[in-house]
Amino acid sequence: MRKADQRDRRGTSRGAASGRAGEPKRFNIKMQKKLAVLFIMVLLAFAGLSVRLVWITREDGEQYSRQVLSQQRYDSTTLPYRRGDIVDAKGTSLAVSEKVYNLVIDSRVIMYNNGKYYEPTMEALEQCFDLDMAAIRQYVTSHAETSSYYVPIKRMSYEQIQEFQELQSQKNSQIRGIWFEEEYKRVYPQGSLACDVVGFATADNEGTNGLEAYYNDVLNGTTGREFGYLTEDATLERTVHPAVDGYTIHTTLDANIQSVLEKYLLEFNETHKNAVRTGNGAENVAGIIMDLNSGNILAMASYPVYDLNNPRDTAPLLGNVMVDEVGNKVKPTKYISQEDLDGMDENLLYQNLNALWRNFCIADTYEPGSTAKPFTVAAGLEAGILEDGDTFLCEGVLEVGGHQIHCHTRWGDGTLTVQQAVAYSCNVALMKMASRIGADTFSKFQQVFQFGLKTNIDLAGEARTASLLKSASDMDAADLATYSFGQNFNVTMIQMIAGFSSLINGGYYYEPHVVDRITNSSGATVQNIEPRILKQTVSESTSELIRKYCRAVVMPEGGDSRTGKTARPAGYAIGGKTGTAQTLPRGNGEYVVSFMGYAPADDPQIAIYVVVDRPNAAKQDDAKFATGIVRNVLTEVLPYLNIYMTEELTEEEVQELAERKLAITNMYAATPEAEDLEDTQKDGEQDAQDGGTDPDQGQEPAWKSFPIDPVTGYRRDPSTGALVDPDTGDLVEEDFPALGDL
């Protein structure tokens, strides 16, 4: 019975086992023993690792911590952005940012592993760089435990570091602890060209003066960041937020026109420096060339210039007027010598450098003199108070408000038409016009022409002049009289040329500007700056008359007494106005002379304005200092702009142009620009035609009847013996101030 039960149970067991054939088999004792052994081995391994970690922490924990922290520092770095470029209208680079490299030494890495990498690294440094290796070795050995960032050389080019990088990357190289930090350096490829307009940027990308300052936020980009960190398994992971480069600004400047203007400003200085006093050819000499139909500035410069790549060079200060510790001109006037430079402290030197960096064309004010006369005439014509046919008698002096105010000639200009009053630059005629206009209307038009207001040109440092003009309520008869011919109120050059352009172009006042387009680092345009008309200052009919009058200042229709004829370039008809303004105190013999004009006369395209502030000459009140510069500049610029000649050339002018073409060809080494200039001049000579018209009729001034002195070539007053300029009627040695007792 028992055996049967056992067989039944075994059968049942086998059947049950057969029914569970798909279930996993149970571990037997042998397998369990193997698992137990494996578990014990894993525990022993973890125990060993724990012991090792404890030992490392106790013995070398500080060293490993430094290595990890050092790794984290190097792999969490700043990515510099590239400051945007500044280019001229044709793409010529005026300011660029070039990548440079700072040499960084990590003495801890070099000295790691008992100084294994020390000698190979030192030898490579000595081979590739001009370093004081004794100082480098001393630093590395003395800072093995305390320093990880030492920069002995900054701002190297890629060519300067290339040899070292090749050594460092060689197989089995033992050079350690040296890396190169990237940044950008501001470079000005044209040196001093357009320095007043461009300005310069500091090492930390902050613009100083000019476009660099005005467009600082546009030129600057956004710094990037590269983050490096170690994961739990000691893998280095990186997260990069790339830098965003700054935008490029495309200016309206033409580097070729700019270079011509600067060339003749320099030539003026070289001709007149140290003439009657030790110093430059003038306290300031400056010029602006502007597209009068858009407000685009084509060129703007003043002398002396400075190197944008080395703005703190003191050499350009020699011969300049010295300023004091607060930036005011030293009284009595002193011109900087090398001895003065050697004795300057840091603050005084900075003030004089700051005076050098100032853009005279927008930041300095002065009395405009007779270049203001077209504005007075335009105000009278536009208000309906003056007419083209009006005449005025000039007897050489006019009493206004108890003051005897003289004309530029002692004997007077006689009876003049409005055109002749402008062409002869007659103060008396202009004072009579202003008396008719009245203070209220005159003051209103000064604001219309933007005098006393900023032009809002896109350059840093434009001066405010609101406090330098009197309102109608504060203006007495003498103020009105002197304002009419540009004395007793101050302007800036940019105010004058912007307003004058509106008088010539039909009355449209364009906001002057230097930038016309902004692009990103990929070259895509992000902003176009279109010409902006702010107002219409005068009507087209008034503008037409002003063009006629200003043409008469230069061309034969103005008669023999026209004041601006020396500004006309050979082969061209132009218009404009001269200016001669006394400085304060009156009667000191110091003048600001100028010429403001447009070309060509029959189809005005550009305006030009040149100011010579207190020329270095015994007789300063001679507008020829300015007209000579204008003539030289336009002789080169007009052909370059493909503006053809319209006037017949004399034999002397043909010879002059031949000599100029040869000089230009030699200067530019037969570049396409020089070839274009030569072709244009040839075409102009071939197609030249006489553009003169009959002069307006009017009474001849008395001085024109004076006989010519055979010794001096001047006219001589028979009654007094005074010498008179045969072109203008001015006294050669003036013995009274033009403003009389004002």
Helices (H), 240-326: 255-272
Amino acid identity for residue 538 in this structure: V
| Domain annotation covers residue 100 | yes
Query: Among 557, 405, 542, which Cα is nearest to 485's?
Result: 405
What is the domain extent for residue 422? Answer: 361-648+688-699
| Domain annotation covers residue 707 | no
CA-to-CA distance for 520 and 247, rounded, in angstroms? 5
Top-confidence residue, 349 or 736: 349
Q: Residue 2 pLDDT more than 70?
A: no
| Domain annotation covers residue 398 | yes
Q: Residue 537 pLDDT more than 80?
A: yes
> Are 448 and 468 found together in one domain?
yes
> Are 241 and 390 found together in one domain?
no
| Domain annotation covers residue 679 | no
Amino acid 11: pLDDT = 46
Q: What is the CATH number of the domain that holds 371?
A: 3.40.710.10
Domain count, the chain: 3
Bridge partners of 77, per DSSP, are 226
> Are 57 and 90 found together in one domain?
no
> Are 225 and 374 found together in one domain?
no
Question: Can you read off the two tokens belonging to residue 663?
Answer: 């000089």
Average pLDDT of the chain is 87
Top-confidence residue, 655 or 627: 627
Query: Among 303, 306, 323, which Cα is nearest to 314's?
Result: 306
Question: Can you read off the two tokens belonging to residue 277?
Answer: 């006093």
Inter-residue contact 273 to 111 (CB < 8 Å): no
Q: What is the band of 669 on the pLDDT scale with cuts at 50, 70, 90?
A: low
How do the residues of the chain divide into helix, strand and coil, expressed in percent and rounded to 5? 40, 20, 40
Q: What is the CATH number of the domain that holds 145?
A: 3.90.1310.10
**Mean of pLDDT values over 313-319:** 96
Q: What is the band of 715 on the pLDDT scale with cuts at 50, 70, 90?
A: confident
| 276-303 tens-digit pLDDT | 999 999 999 999 999 999 999 999 999 9
Question: Can you read off the two tokens belonging to residue 45?
Answer: 């391994």
> Are 434 and 517 found together in one domain?
yes
Amino acid 661: pLDDT = 80
> Are 638 and 535 found together in one domain?
yes
Query: Among 505, 475, 495, which Cα is nearest to 372's?
Result: 495
- The full DSSP string for 610-678 is EEEEEESSSS---THHHHHHHHHHHHHHHHHTTPPP-SPPPHHHHHHHHHHHHHHHHHHTS-HHHHHHH
Amino acid 409: pLDDT = 85
Give the number of other CB atoms < 10 A from CB of residue 431: 24
Inter-residue contact 696 to 549 (CB < 8 Å): no
Q: Residue 22 pLDDT more than 80?
A: no
Inter-residue contact 608 to 504 (CB < 8 Å): no
Helices (H) and strands (E) in the chain, counts: 24, 25
**Cα three-residue angle 465-507-366, rounded to 5 degrees:** 25
Q: What is the band of 629 on the pLDDT scale with cuts at 50, 70, 90?
A: very high
Q: What DSSP designation does 271 have? A: H
> Are 50 and 178 found together in one domain?
no
Amino acid 457: pLDDT = 98
Question: Can you read off the two tokens belonging to residue 566?
Answer: 């020396």
Q: What are phi and psi of 404, to 5 degrees?
A: -90, 105
Amino acid 617: pLDDT = 97
**Cα three-residue angle 318-320-325, rounded to 5 degrees:** 100
Question: Can you read off the two tokens belonging to residue 450?
Answer: 């933007």
Q: What is the band of 339 on the pLDDT scale with cuts at 50, 70, 90?
A: very high
Q: Residue 681 pLDDT more than 60?
A: no
| Domain annotation covers residue 64 | yes
Angle between helices 477-484 and 439-448 (to 10 degrees): 40
Residue 690, class by beta-carbon neighbours within 10 Å (0-12 exposed, 13-18 middle, 19+ buried)?
exposed
Amino acid 75: pLDDT = 53
> Are 197 and 63 found together in one domain?
no
Q: Residue 308 pLDDT more than 50?
A: yes
Amino acid identity for residue 328 in this structure: N
Amino acid 660: pLDDT = 81
Amino acid 662: pLDDT = 81
Amino acid 230: pLDDT = 55
Query: Among 731, 732, 719, which Cα is nearest to 406's?
Result: 731
| Domain annotation covers residue 37 | no
Sign of CA dihedral 597, 599, 601, 603: negative
Bridge partners of 87, per DSSP, are 93, 250
Q: What is the band of 54 on the pLDDT scale with cuts at 50, 70, 90?
A: confident
Query: Among 686, 644, 639, which Cα is nearest to 660's?
Result: 639
- Residue the block writes with tokens 């030790």: 278
Q: What DSSP designation does 395 have? A: -
Residue 263, class by beta-carbon neighbours within 10 Å (0-12 exposed, 13-18 middle, 19+ buried)?
middle
Give the number of other CB atoms < 10 A from CB of residue 132: 10
Domain stop point among 251, 285, 304: 251
Q: How far is CA 510 from CA 75, 291, 497, in A?
A: 53, 10, 11
Amino acid identity for residue 624 in this structure: K
Q: What is the band of 319 on the pLDDT scale with cuts at 50, 70, 90?
A: very high
> Are 64 and 142 found together in one domain?
no
Angle between helices 373-382 and 427-437 (to 10 degrees): 30
Domain stop point among 251, 273, 297: 251
Q: Residue 385 pLDDT more than 80?
A: yes
How close are the terminal C-alpha atoms of the chain, in Å? 155
Q: Residue 734 pLDDT more than 70?
A: no
> Are 210 and 89 found together in one domain?
yes
**Mean of pLDDT values over 230-247:** 76
Q: What are phi and psi of 261, to 5 degrees?
A: -60, -45
> Are 407 and 464 found together in one domain?
yes
CA-to-CA distance for 714 and 725, rounded, in angstroms? 6
Give the number of other CB atoms < 10 A from CB of residue 545: 24
Amino acid 136: pLDDT = 93
Q: What DSSP designation does 704 have? A: G
Q: Which of 211-225, 246-260, 669-683 has the lowest mean pLDDT?
A: 669-683
**Beta strands 508-510 and 533-536, pairing class:** antiparallel
Q: What DSSP designation does 458 have? A: S
Give the number of other CB atoms < 10 A from CB of residue 323: 19
Amino acid 483: pLDDT = 98
| Domain annotation covers residue 392 | yes
656 Cβ contact partners less than 8 Å away, ≥ 6 residues apart:
570
Q: What is the band of 666 on the pLDDT scale with cuts at 50, 70, 90?
A: confident
Q: How far is CA 601 from CA 62, 552, 605, 645, in A?
A: 84, 10, 9, 11
Residue 707, class by beta-carbon neighbours within 10 Å (0-12 exposed, 13-18 middle, 19+ buried)?
exposed
Question: Can you read off the two tokens belonging to residue 678?
Answer: 């030569």
Q: What are phi and psi of 186, to 5 degrees?
A: -80, 125
| Domain annotation covers residue 397 | yes
* b/e burial code for range 528-540 (CB count within 10 A of at least 16 → b): ebebeeeeebbee
Q: How far is CA 437 from CA 15, 285, 417, 540, in A?
A: 132, 33, 17, 20
Rounded to two decimals, the pTM is 0.82
Domain stop point among 251, 279, 314: 251
Segments of 171-260 assigned E as strands: 178-187, 200-201, 207-208, 224-230, 236-241, 248-251
Amino acid 700: pLDDT = 61
> Are 589 and 458 found together in one domain?
yes
| 551-595 tens-digit pLDDT | 999 999 988 889 999 999 999 999 999 999 999 999 999 999 999
- The full DSSP string for 521-540 is TTS-EEEE----EEEE-S-H
